Structure 1
């Protein structure tokens, strides 16, 4: 498993949304920011390749960067930072 920081998640999500990482707030609704199902599947595939235990369904449930980070940390047995 890969340990991934909130900032790394932010960079990945911002990249797929084609926005600057600084423009992605922790509590922004990712669907409102443009994260559609195709982009979510691509993110999940990227993260799976890096060993991050998140999948497409997780991205449907966790709708903010903060929620995704907390879920990733929980799956890795760590307390959210």
Structure 2
């Protein structure tokens, strides 16, 4: 089963818990991780066709973001 993990963190490199989680999943077979800030920049500009292809080619999608937001990312 293919899993796609979409991570949205304003500064992933300085986060102790989110970074560990992201790195552990990045080294797991059948898991693709995407740091949305690294891919889309602070403006969150993406290639829609490319992102849609990733979503279609996966069985499970996990969204990872800071707990202190108490909600999903606004973008």
Fold match (TM-score > 0.5): no
**Larger gyration radius, structure 1 or structure 2:** 2
Structure with the bigger RCO (C-alpha within 8 Å, sep 6+) is 2
Query: What's the TM-score, normalizing by structure 2?
Result: 0.32
Normalised by the length of structure 1, the TM-score is: 0.30
- Report which of the two has the higher share of helix: 1
